[in-house]
Amino acid sequence: MGLNVAVIIKLEPDFSEGNVSYNPDGTLNRTETKNTLGPHSAIAAQAAFYAKVMHDAKISIGTMGPPIADLALQQAQQISDADELHLYSDRLFAGADTLGTAEVLKTGIEKMQGKMDIVFAGHRASDGETGQTGPQTAWKLGFTFLGNVISYELDLETRTIRAKRMVSLQGTPDVIEEIEAPLPVFISIDPAFKSKFNTVSQRLAFQKYQKAATKKAKNYKEYLKVFNGKELGVDETLVGLPGSPTIVYKVERIPKSTATRQAEIIDGSDPAQLQKVVGRMKEALSAMVIK
């Protein structure tokens, strides 16, 4: 029996220099900033590609966004050699919070070809940064959710996955937890994920699929299906603004806290002044030696 893998991705502001633009007050200038496949989405696509190379998985990618989000699908196809691209695009979906978004993604994943064995999502979006959409989509799908996965291996005979998860908790050292679960599972992939292809045959397969991916991504529109709300068959009251419990009430500049320190301003090109600064640094460091 084959393996069906889905990836959900997001078009995000491109934070790389030359593409990102900040307003004079330090906030992101969204109009000037270009968009790209989110970095965490890219890692999710890599994790799916690992299943392709190792197990010849069939890969489907879904995203919710404006029509231009097909760019992200193309970029993710280039990474993963995906066979099917889904864009869920409708004004009805706009303004959704994570629950309203998860409803669309869940419905979309259920429309993909084949029953999914694994769904991958990124750790979090680099603009929204909530990390909630993945687990909420998993819950709506009824899939076992595995978070912070840094590596995984599949056993297709028993239809099980073994995965390592990174658990970071305040005030305790990080823990790598190894878990086992039957498929299907929903994985949010940790930024530390790296695919390793050790054998010659794996590396050959890697090259083969990479070539195929480039070819497909050039003609990505052949693989692309665009769905509006009606075509997707979503309940209109569960998506977009009606389906979102939360709203953004206000956005404000974080008030400058009252100065906690009185800075002495010195000229960085004056060695005599720097000499004094280093003297004070030294004092600060030696303070702890006195017990």
Partner 1 sequence: MVENYRHLYVIIELEDEKFLPVSLEMLGEARRLLDDFNKKYSTKEKVVAVVLGHNIKNISKQLIEYGADAVIFSDSPELKDVRNTIYTKVISQIAQDIKTLAEVEPEYASEIKRPRYMFFAADSIGRHLSSTVLAELESGLASDINKLVIEDIEMSHQHKTAGKKETFAKTLEMYRPDFSGFLWTTILCLDNRNPAYKRDYHPQGCSMIPGVFEPIKPDSSRQGKVIEFVPTIDEQDLKVKVLSRKIIESEVDFDTPRTIVSFGRGIKDDPEQNVKLVEQLAKELNAEIGVTLPISKKPYVVSSALDSKYMIPDRVIGTSGHKTSPLLYIAAGVSGAMQHVWGMKDSGFVVAINPDEEAPIKDECDVFIKGRMEDVIPLLIEEIKKQMLVVEA
Q: Between 231 and 270, name the residue whose CB sits nearer to partner 1.
A: 270
Other C-beta atoms lying within 10 Å of the C-beta of residue 243 = 22
Nearest to 161 by CA among 41, 47, 39, 8: 47
Answer yes or no whether residue 198 interacts with partner 1 by CB under 8 A: no
CB of 268 to partner 1, least distance (A): 2
- Length of the chain (residues): 291
Q: Report the C-alpha gap between 277 and 59 in whole angstroms.
A: 58
CB of 25 to partner 1, least distance (A): 6
3-state secondary structure 203-239: HHHHHHHHHHHHHHHHCHHHHEEEECHHHHCCCHHHC
Answer yes or no whether residue 271 interacts with partner 1 by CB under 8 A: yes
For residue 224, how many C-alpha atoms fall within 13 Å in the half-sphere facing its CB? 22
Member of 157, 275, 290, 291 binding partner 1 (CB under 8 A) = 275
CB of 11 to partner 1, least distance (A): 15
Judged by CB under 8 A, the stretch of 46-54, 67-75, 175-183, 195-203 that binds partner 1 is 175-183
Q: Between 145 and 193, name the residue whose CB sits nearer to partner 1.
A: 145
CB of 122 to partner 1, least distance (A): 13
Q: Which of residues 211-240 bind partner 1 (CB under 8 A)?
A: 237
Question: What is the dihedral sign for C-alpha 233, 235, 240, 244?
Answer: negative
Answer yes or no whether residue 157 interacts with partner 1 by CB under 8 A: no
Answer yes or no whether residue 195 interacts with partner 1 by CB under 8 A: no
Answer yes or no whether residue 291 interacts with partner 1 by CB under 8 A: no
Strand, helix or coil at 268? coil
Q: Report the C-alpha gap between 130 and 289 in whole angstroms.
A: 43
Answer yes or no whether residue 290 interacts with partner 1 by CB under 8 A: no
CB of 280 to partner 1, least distance (A): 7
Residue 51, φ and ψ in degrees, nearest 5: -70, -30
